[in-house]
Structure 1
Amino acid sequence: MHWYVDVIKNYVGFSGRATRTEFWMFVLVNFFIAIFVELIDKFILNGLRVFSTLYNLAVLIPALAVGARRLHDIGKTGWWQLIGIIPVLGWIVLIVYFCTDTQDKENSYGANPKESLQE
């Protein structure tokens, strides 16, 4: 859960790097929270989608930020997220990038985050 909270705390941090674990744990926790909020909307508010819309707007910037940091970790610019606009093919490219391992050395976006975790 701390991965999710760390991303939310760094909600406008588009610089730096994020490990695969940080990114995917955020995605996982975000997915379950989104389902829970959607169920609240469906059963309590009769499908008005008030809470789910507010939640999705609240996590939009942090999700874009952690995505950009994840792409920085593999040496790509955060603007590569725009390829997700292309249906299916763009999504596949992004998933491959998000699953790619960290660059072992320091890159133009900062030091290897795995090294700081091991110390």
Structure 2
Amino acid sequence: MYGPISAFESYLFNALTLNARATRSEYWWPALIVGLAMIAAGVADAMTVMRVSEAGGLPPLNPFSYWTPLLSLLTLVPNITCGIRRLHDTGRSGLWVLVMLVPMVGGLIYILLLSLPSEPRENAWGQPRGQVRPHARDDAEPGAPTSARRTRGHRPSALDSYAVLLQAEAEPSPEEIARRKQEVHEYFKRNVSRRASA
């Protein structure tokens, strides 16, 4: 399950990704954050109109002098793509987003589809988020750090880069230092000393 910050990062960094999956928390946390931002923008716009009206003037006719249209344009594409990825996670085609065009009940059906649980198995859009394929194996030796291990079938995401950055700042353990020294020593023996003797 994603927390609000990681879900919103996934929402932003995967804004142009369609062929993937998004869990319920990956969809609903950003929906809540964007919804609260839209309410705040609406209040700010209403205060602007009231302030201008009290001064006896006309409110600006340019829609871009208000926050709500700007925020709507900025979040339009991420909202659509996140909804499509959420539909993929339930095992449905992204074309189900068009159900919103049905008058009266389309929006309710869409919300219901987005609320359904994730498909627990792999589907046409990949593995469930946070799971690794059962036949996956580590390509690195058992003593290697997790950052050096590559799991077959793992698709890199924006969140993986944060993990690498956090591990880069961590202090290496004595075993890790010894392993690195051994790798440098073996590389030197294998490559450098042969050239020097030749």
TM-score w.r.t. structure 2 length?
Answer: 0.54
- Number of the residue aligned with 1:19: 23
Q: How does 1:1-119 map to 2 (within 5 A)?
A: 1-2=4-5, 3-46=7-50, 50-115=66-131
Give the secondary-structure state (helix, strand or coil) at the position aligned to 1:113: coil
Q: Deviations over 1:24-46 (max 9, x none)?
A: 11111111000011111111354
Q: Deviations over 1:52-104 (max 9, x none)?
A: 10110100000000000000001111111011011232222212211110001
Count of aligned pairs between the two proteins: 116
Give the secondary-structure state (helix, strand or coil) at the position aligned to 1:115: coil
Contact 1:67–1:81 at 8 Å: present in 2 too?
yes
Larger Cα Rg: Structure 1 or Structure 2? 2
- CA distance, structure 1, for counterparts of residue 102 and residue 127 of structure 2: 31
Q: Structure 2 unaligned runs (5+)?
A: 51-58, 133-198
- CA distance, structure 1, for counterparts of residue 34 and residue 9 of structure 2: 10
Give the letter aligned to residue 67 of structure 1.
Answer: G
- CA distance, structure 2, for counterparts of residue 4 and residue 40 of structure 1: 23
RMSD of aligned alpha carbons: 1.7
Higher helix share: 1
Give the letter aligned to residue 131 of structure 2.
Answer: E
Q: Which moved more, 1:93-102 or 1:56-65?
A: 93-102
Q: Greater relative contact order: 1 or 2 (C-alpha under 8 angstroms, separation 6 or more)?
A: 1
Give the letter aligned to residue 23 of structure 1.
Answer: Y
- Percentage identity across aligned positions? 26
TM-score w.r.t. structure 1 length?
Answer: 0.88
- CA distance, structure 1, for counterparts of residue 96 and residue 30 of structure 2: 19
